[in-house]
Amino acid sequence: MPTPARTSLDEIVLAGRTILEADGIDGLTMQRVAATVGVRPPSLYKRVEGRTHLVRLIANDVVGELAETMDAAATSGDPRHDLRRLAHAFRAFAQANPNGYSLIFGQLDEAERADPELNARASAALLRTAAALAGPDYGLDAARTVVAWANGFVSMELSGAFRLGGDVDRAFAYGIDRLSSSISDGAPLPR
């Protein structure tokens, strides 16, 4: 005799993401998720292989949203301007979703990480813009430099690593300005 479904995969992932953002990765327990969607913990295993799988599904959800955000930020046609907007959109996303951000860029087991294709989509706009600035020969190097800086800056900011005072917003603007000009094709080469 069939029992009507009391929840769904989407509801589980959404509940998981909400709990993650509220209480961090350690607060994300199967019991919390089950209670949130109104079911007992064992029932979750009808829709999800286990906690590791659920974490990956949440990471996919977050990284997909990041991809949309980034795509929407790179539409001006001026790569210089786009790069600045991309950097600011990236930082704003991380500040709005700190624990979700850590899920994407933090160190996780392979099985917990978001799908590589989704990660590629999230960085596509930055790659394209950096390549437009740096030219074909150094496009990939330039993109990696910008992504590394943005990710490092934001994760240090989120973890409270900038402890020496000063204006963190100014440091961010300084960084994107210097990077933007120094990766640009035609900029003077390093002396």
Partner DNA sequence: ACCTGAACACCGTTCAAGT
Nearer to DNA, 43 or 151 (CB): 43
- CA separation for the pair 172, 88 (Å, rounded): 9
158: partner contacted, choices a second copy, DNA, none (Cβ within 5-8 A by kind): a second copy
CA atoms within 13 A on the CB side of 168: 14
Crossing angle for the helix pair 116-134 and 79-96, nearest 10 degrees? 150
Dump the DSSP string for 101-130.
HHHHHS---GGGSPPHHHHHHHHHHHHHHH
Q: Which pair of structure tokens corresponds to residue 100? A: 């979700």
84: partner contacted, choices a second copy, DNA, none (Cβ within 5-8 A by kind): none
Q: Which pair of structure tokens corresponds to residue 103? A: 């899920």
Judged by the rule CB under 7 A, the positions of this chain that interact with DNA are 1-7, 28-31, 39-43, 45-46, 50-52
191 binds a second copy (CB under 8 A): yes
Nearer to DNA, 5 or 72 (CB): 5
Residues that bind a second copy (CB under 8 A): 24, 26, 102, 105-109, 113, 116, 119-120, 127, 138, 140-142, 144-145, 147-153, 155-156, 158-159, 161-164, 166, 168, 170-171, 174-175, 177-184, 187-191
